Structure 1
Amino acid sequence: MILLSKHSNLAHLNTSTDIPKLSEFISLFEGLEKKLDYGRLIKEKESFESLLERFIVQEEEVQKVKASKADNYNIFDILAVRHYEAKVHSPFLAHLLDPKGSHEQGKLFYRHFIESVFKEDLIKTNLLNGVNLQVETELSSQYGFIDIAIRNNSIDNSFILIIENKIYAGDQERQLERYYEYARNILRLSDKQIRILYLKPNRARPGAFSINDDLYKKLKGNVLQEIGYKEDILPWLKNLKNEIKAERVKHSLQQYMDVIKTL
């Protein structure tokens, strides 16, 4: 038996009629609350489905853009050869610098390279006037293997341009000294006819192991010059890219430039 105080607000309730009504009201309230929760869930579900649909549409658009550009496609990465000096970088650069290369751009690469790297007009003139250019890689002699050698053999304008390519390999004993001696003793060229470029990812002085200090001071800025992939090679290729007529060459060049950025 339920005892109700006379001071209670429920004291006047009729237990036979009011209590069932109260129970019914509570049941209706709970049912309404459940309906409201269900309605909210429906709205949230519809909102989520709309968001998911927009995401799918956007993802499809992103995939279309990726398919049309393939920005991450790089043949050097696929073949895992981006860090190979003798097998990749030297042959690729030598091919670009060779007017007879299959790029079919003639002296375009060579001319831009000379104008970009060398500052003295006389040096530029001599190198640009080469009419019988011979470009070789791994040129072998008793003085060692020269990574890239560009020679012009003519009576009035003979010269050699030597590029020593150093990405990760260290200097060899008297390496630059030997290449200089090769040009002087074997080719019988004067200092004015010899140019040696020491190429690193970033410009750097060759070590004393490769060339002694006295000879370095004598040749620096005259015969010998330091250049870098990022300071010199990359700007050289960027500046001439729009002049290239062959799309296949442009695509290859862009992939190579992407490789240079990671050296």
Structure 2
Amino acid sequence: MVEDKQIDLLKSLIENRQEIYERLAPRVNIFDILGNTYYEVQNSKLLYYIFNTHFKYYDKEINFAKDFSLYIVGNEYKDKIKDAKFENVYREFQTKDGRRIDILIVFDKFEIIIENKINAGEQESQLEDYYKDRYNNGKEIFLVYLTRWKYEASKYSISKETKEKLRDKIYYLSHGDIAKWIENDILNKYEFLKFDKKYQSIYSALIQIRDNEKIITNPNEENNMEKEEIKKFFEIEDNNYFGLLNNNELKDNFEALDNCHNLLLKAAEVIENKKGDIVLKDKKVLNEIDFSEKVSKYIKENMKDLISNNNELFKFKSNEEIKSNFLQNYKSNENIEMFLIKNPNNPCKSVKISLNQLIYPMEEYKKSLYFGVWIHYYQNKEILNKVKEIIEEKFGNDFEEYNKLEIYDWVSPYIRYIDIEKDKPEETAQKIIDLYNLLKEKITQ
């Protein structure tokens, strides 16, 4: 019967899963492992080091910044760039008005401003201000707007008049374009990087950065390759996983595959549920949930009036809500959210304190429960700096600097990790209250 063949298919897939794993090439991406793939600050740092690579190979000058410049500009500028003298590459270059250019490449005859976007939105007049800050009559100024999928900058970031003035000196690149540039204009152009042992570290770094740039633009590329390998496995004659099909009508064949597909989806659902069960049998996870609940209870009791009058600013997940999220295969939870600023008309202007819980501890700290101040980084740099000052002045070494913890435009400049074996829920809750009251007084005035 067809149903028996479907069950046999599922059994066979489970029995032969090792063979499928072996058909898939191992995936090792250092940036993904470190959790930095989609973080703009870290990504800009990687690109900065590429652009700042310059040396002599025998008598030949190798300058990746110049290679990049020649890659982006049109033919009318190439001669000028070939003859230009390299001066420097800057990261987070501060303008006269206090804005920061992600990357600035400086030659004696021209400059390239690079604004790097991955998950962040545009800032008001951002590119406009960068251009005006660097423009002078003696140099060509080029703008590169680097995004995941080659978006164009809107008039919110740069005026129509300035766009027209720049014309062919503003370039829209995807991170996939950066990957192609590394491949074609660096790796293929300078083959000695691969074969000369002195340059092996540069070569291996370029390979990883190239692959990481590909992932930013096309995160499913490796998954699609894996699907192709799995498809080949299904079609191997000895396996004959599609043998349940016959030469009957379309309806019969379609229903056979549809039933098989539904069976596999149900199997996947069972596996997902099992993952949740495993998480909620872990004593450490359960103890941290209980710890969070006690913190919530203390805060609610000691901030009763403020919470009741501003209920929309506070969210305390119950024990069951946290467990439910983990059962749905969420790898992290915001167990507590306390907004200092919450603007419904512009969510980007929000600032909050949250207590977070991860299934897996952060490798460098071996801890999975922490709280911190979260700021919409790209819209609130003044607030970010103010929060840093307050924490440094008032809380000293009680917090650890963690600027790199940046998620979808949000950044937490400092975080306090919680050790439930040593820390008490009431003391942790009081620290959160103290932090909230101090920041509420300072940053909302």
TM-score (norm. length: structure 1): 0.63
Q: Following superposition, which runs of at least 4 residues in structure 1 exceed 6 angstroms of deviation? A: none
Q: Find the aligned partners of 1:212 and 1:127 in 2 and give their Cα distance.
A: 27
Q: Find the aligned partners of 1:197 and 1:205 in 2 and give their Cα distance.
A: 10
State the partner residue of 1:258. 211
Q: Find the aligned partners of 1:99 and 1:255 in 2 and give their Cα distance.
A: 16
Deviation at 1:137, TM superposition (A): 0.4
1:167 aligns with 2:167: no
**Identity %, equivalent residues:** 30
State the partner residue of 1:94. 48
State the partner residue of 1:214. 161
Count of residues in correspondence between the two structures: 187
Please identify, of 161-170 and 243-252, the stretch whose mean Cα deviation from structure 2 is larger. Answer: 243-252
Deviation at 1:130, TM superposition (A): 2.6
| 1:231-242 paired onto structure 2 within 5 Å | 232-239=177-184, 240-242=186-188
Question: Gaps (5+ residues) in structure 2?
Answer: 1-15, 194-198, 217-445
Deviation at 1:237, TM superposition (A): 0.8
| 1:1-263 paired onto structure 2 within 5 Å | 71-86=26-41, 88-100=42-54, 107-121=62-76, 123-143=77-97, 144-153=99-108, 157=109, 159-184=110-135, 188-190=136-138, 193-221=140-168, 223-230=169-176, 232-239=177-184, 240-242=186-188, 243-244=190-191, 245=193, 246-263=199-216
Aligned amino acid, residue 208 of structure 1: K
C-alpha change, 1:78 and 1:99, in structure 2 (3 Å) is: closer
Query: Secondary structure of 1:254's partner?
Result: helix
Deviation at 1:152, TM superposition (A): 2.1
Deviation at 1:108, TM superposition (A): 4.2
Query: Residues 163-191 of structure 1, C-alpha deviation per residue, up to 9 Å, x if partnerless?
Result: 1111111111101110111012xxx345x
Q: Find the aligned partners of 1:98 and 1:234 in 2 and give their Cα distance.
A: 17
Query: Residues 40-68 of structure 1, C-alpha deviation per residue, up to 9 Å, x if partnerless?
Result: xxxxxxxxxxxxxxx9xx97xx5xx99xx
Query: Residues 183-225 of structure 1, C-alpha deviation per residue, up to 9 Å, x if partnerless?
Result: 12xxx345x611111111122210111012222222231x322
Q: In terms of Rg, which structure is larger?
A: 1
Query: Residues 117-148 of structure 1, C-alpha deviation per residue, up to 9 Å, x if partnerless?
Result: 22224x22222323232100000023310011
Deviation at 1:106, TM superposition (A): 5.6
Aligned amino acid, residue 168 of structure 1: N
Deviation at 1:228, TM superposition (A): 1.7
Deviation at 1:82, TM superposition (A): 0.7
C-alpha change, 1:151 and 1:108, in structure 2 (3 Å) is: closer
Partners of 1:148 and 1:163 within 8 A in 2: yes
Q: Find the aligned partners of 1:98 and 1:252 in 2 and give their Cα distance.
A: 14
Q: Which has the higher contact order (CA 8 A, sep 6+)?
A: 1
Partners of 2:54 and 2:64 within 8 A in 1: no
Aligned amino acid, residue 207 of structure 1: S
C-alpha change, 1:255 and 1:99, in structure 2 (3 Å) is: closer
Q: Find the aligned partners of 2:75 and 2:151 in 1 and give their Cα distance.
A: 21
Query: Residues 214-256 of structure 1, C-alpha deviation per residue, up to 9 Å, x if partnerless?
Result: 22222231x32212222x2111111121325222222222222
C-alpha change, 1:99 and 1:129, in structure 2 (3 Å) is: farther
Aligned amino acid, residue 251 of structure 1: S
Aligned amino acid, residue 48 of structure 2: A
C-alpha change, 1:99 and 1:80, in structure 2 (3 Å) is: closer
Question: Gaps (5+ residues) in structure 1?
Answer: 1-54
Structure with the bigger percentage of strand: 2
Aligned amino acid, residue 85 of structure 1: E
C-alpha change, 1:237 and 1:139, in structure 2 (3 Å) is: same
Partners of 1:114 and 1:127 within 8 A in 2: yes
Query: Residues 89-119 of structure 1, C-alpha deviation per residue, up to 9 Å, x if partnerless?
Result: 2121121112448xxx963423432232222
Partners of 1:90 and 1:148 within 8 A in 2: yes
